[in-house]
Amino acid sequence: MKNKSLSNINFVVIFALMVAISVVLQKITFGTPITQVGLGFIGTALMGRFFGPVWAGIGAGLADVLNSIILGVLGGFYPGFTLSAIATGVIYGLFLYRQHLADNWKNGWRIIASVLVVTVVVYMVMNTLWITHMTNGNFAHLFGIRLPKQLILPWIQMLILMIITIALDRVKIESILNRYSK
């Protein structure tokens, strides 16, 4: 995106669509509340890829709040998870903004690194801390319960993000988005 001014209506519309996609994907989940697995990471990673760290953080935070208000979340709204969403958007934006995998496979490390950083910093530390605060549980115990999922899930997320990113690069989605953001 070349012009990111909020006065640019096309940017706002495309950004709002990405936030809406993220909200919808956040609702596709399964598992227990403590070890929940979902597709919300796709929308956040795409916002990071197309809008950069600042806008991805804003969009992810907005998507989390909208998800809580409109669709409701188990346990109610908790601001800690909004901070986690913002951190996730910023991390994906730092690693994935304007990176093309279809043209250069060497950029694949960015997906691997972003998913691993999000997994360790956000999912394992921040989210476990928020769950500990919400449930008055023991951090070490909850960390142990959540660890098996976090040892398996990142590899699946990496594969999904690589496939989606390469597919979007091949259809030149960024040039399409740029055309509507001028």
* pLDDT tens string 55-99: 999 999 999 999 888 877 766 788 888 999 999 999 999 999 988
Beta bridge mates, 38:
29
Q: Where is mean pLDDT largest: 20-24, 91-95, 100-104?
A: 91-95
Query: What is the pTM assigned to this prediction?
Result: 0.84
Residue 1 pLDDT > 50 = no
Both structure tokens of 120: 């360790």
By CB neighbour count within 10 A (0-12 exposed, 13-18 middle, 19+ buried), where does 10 fall? middle
Beta bridge mates, 30:
37
How far apart are alpha carbons 145 and 33 in whole angstroms?
Answer: 12
List strand residue ranges (DSSP E) for the chain, in order.
29-30, 37-38
Q: Which among 43, 59, 34 has a CA at the least distance from the CA of 135? A: 34
How far apart are alpha carbons 103 and 85 in whole angstroms?
Answer: 29
Q: How far is CA 119 from the centre of its chain?
A: 11
Tell me how far apart the terminal alpha carbons of the chain are, to the nearest angstrom.
8
CATH fold, domain 9-180, is Arp2/3 complex 21 kDa subunit ARPC3 (1.10.1760)
